[in-house]
Structure 1
């Protein structure tokens, strides 16, 4: 399983606000399926970041394009494969 960082950029604040619950429910569903590792919004209001778990970038692209924020034009996105490294504080 690989990790992919998906950065979403705000395109339409009004659409974003009206689709927020649908977006969060979608990510919650994917999280229960083990497909989302982490998620969060940027505090400056410009968008957010989701870390997906999948076998390929194409699989992630399909998931992202089904997200209401993306499919309804509230946000754009870019995908980057991410190599996660936990930091040991010892």
Structure 2
């Protein structure tokens, strides 16, 4: 399995709010199925990031295109294979 980083830049804030519950439900299901490694929104409101787990870029794109944000044109989609390198150091935030 490989990792794929999907950038979801904001296209329409109103649609994004409208479809947020469906988007989160979609990601919950994908996570439960082991198809999402990590996810989260950008703190500045510019959009979000989803790390998909798939065999190929085409598989990852097919999954990402089913996200209600993409289906309803609330967010854009840019996706790339991601070669994760981690030393897993997590600093304390005060």
TM range (shorter): over 0.9
CA distance 1:85–1:27, change in 2 (3 Å): same
Alignment match, 1:48: 48
Instruction: Give unmatched runs, 5+ long, in structure 2.
Output: 90-94
Aligned alpha-carbon RMSD (Å): 1.0
CA distance 1:70–1:87, change in 2 (3 Å): same
TM-score if structure 1 supplies the norm length? 0.95
Judging by fraction of residues, say which structure has more strand.
Answer: 1
Separation in 2, partners of 1:28, 1:43: 20
Spell out, residue by residue over 1:47-77, the C-alpha distance to the aligned partner (whole angstroms, 9 max, x if none): 0000000000101111111100001000001
Equivalent pairs counted in the alignment come to 89
TM-score if structure 2 supplies the norm length? 0.91
Runs of 4+ in 1 over 3 A off after TM superposition: none
